Amino acid sequence: MTIGITGTGSYIPSVTTTNEAFETSEFLQSDGLPFENDNQVIIQKFKAITGIGERRYAKSDLNTSDLGYRAAMKAIEDAGIDAEDLDYIIFAHNFGDVNYGHAQADTVPSLATRVKHHLGIINPNCVAYDMLFGCPGWVEGVIQAYAFIKSGMAQKCLVIGAETLSRVIDPHDRDSMIYSDGAGACIVEANPESGAILSHTSATFTNEEAFYLYSGTSHKKTATDNRQYIKMYGRKIYEFAISHVPKAMKACLDKSGTDIKEVKKIFIHQANEKMDEAIVKRFYRLYGCEMPEGVMPMNIHQMGNSSVATIPTLFDTVRHGKMENQSIEKGDVVIFASVGAGMNINSIVYRC
């Protein structure tokens, strides 16, 4: 049975926020004290490490489920299927719908349920649920869809990854410059004309790694509310990722029986340019070779880190020929790989 991706779609928010927008921010250290360097120096160092020059934010009248719905519509159209034939809708996110200007996350009903409602699907046997798996959530959703189809429980699944991280960032934390909004989606189905998922791996590390990403209060200690924001130990995440992700990618590729020389593209979670480059370089060195030029498409420079949405939006962009000097052809072997809160890691080897 050939199980693969027959359609993709993405929604890129229209509000572009450049690094210059943060020049007047009051960035504080975790203890509430100001930094020695001014914001221009902080922003310059930030760009040198992450590669981010701008990011996209959703308009105030759109929420995470709205972005996911728009991406889903494009994926369904691209696959040429009837939404009524979907067996599962899996929506990967981490913070639910957070209305603009509000602090509370809304996850009841689930975001997948909201998308099913917006799609107008009547079929009650189309099961809709949410996936909470950190940044690797969309990849894990694709793995679950594959498992459902392989077991005979489903024939067609819609997998969405969407987030509005701009609603959960602390404006006094310089890490807030990393995060962005976006949505990507795909249709996974048993279809001899589609590509094929060749192998997959997943892992969760929960000892000291469990809280490398967490929810915490503002760096501004005089803040009058107890609102929780996304926080992280950046250096620990970097060291964890470059140590564990290359090994997971190798295990997945070896499991597929595919030679490293066959890999045409690596779609890696757009977390941090330097970190992603270090991961992929280490992956190739595990095979005693150097990273080929152009093997790692990146859109973090313009899109920022939209968590679960980074890989599906990037894949959709390249798949439809919308990224300069990047393309994939039928039969190409690509790798999806991600790391994030949990700490979770996963990877898929996929033949287009």
What was the pLDDT predicted at 96?
A: 95
Q: Tell me what the pLDDT averaged over the chain comes to.
A: 96
How many angstroms separate the CA atoms of 5 and 295, rounded?
Answer: 20
pLDDT value of residue 223: 78
Q: Check residue 28 and give its pLDDT.
A: 93
Are 179 and 215 part of one and the same domain? no
pLDDT-based confidence at 40, cuts 50/70/90?
A: very high
pLDDT 10s digits, 219-233: 998 877 778 899 999
3-state secondary structure of 312: helix
Q: Which residues pair with 181 in a beta bridge?
A: 164
Amino acid at 192: P
Q: Exposed, middle or buried, 6 (CB in 10 Å: 0-12/13-18/19+)?
A: buried
Angle, to 10 degrees, between the axis of helix 64-79 and the axis of helix 111-119?
50
The predicted structure's pLDDT at residue 104: 83
What domain count does the chain have? 2
Statement to judge: residues 142 and 262 lie in one domain: no
- The residue range of the domain holding 268 is 198-351
Is it the case that residue 164 has pLDDT exceeding 90?
yes
**For the domain that residue 267 is a member of, what is the CATH number?**
3.40.47.10
Beta bridge partners of 336: 267, 348
One DSSP character per residue, 63-84 reads -HHHHHHHHHHHHHHHHT--GG
Q: How far apart are CA 318 and CA 264, in angstroms?
A: 12
**Together in a domain, 267 and 284:** yes
157 & 305 share domain: no
Residue-level pLDDT at 315: 98
163 shares a domain with 260 = no
Q: 62-99, pLDDT tens digit by residue?
A: 999 999 999 999 999 999 999 999 999 999 999 999 99
Is 103 in the same domain as 189? yes
Residues 114 and 210 in one domain: no
Do residues 161 and 204 share a domain?
Answer: no
pLDDT value of position 266: 98
Last residue of a domain, one of 194, 229, 254: 194
Over residues 122-135, mean pLDDT:
97
Looking at the structure, do residues 168 and 202 belong to the same domain, yes or no?
A: no
> Does one domain contain both 85 and 101?
yes
**Rounded to an integer, what distance in angstroms lies between the CA atom of residue 327 and that of residue 344?**
28
Q: Answer with the one of 159, 194, 229 that is the final residue of a domain.
A: 194
Q: Are residues 282 and 237 in the same domain?
A: yes
- Between 191 and 259, the more confident residue is 259
Residues 342 and 236 in one domain: yes
Q: DSSP secondary-structure letter at 97? A: B
Q: Which of 152, 179, 194 is the last residue of a domain?
A: 194
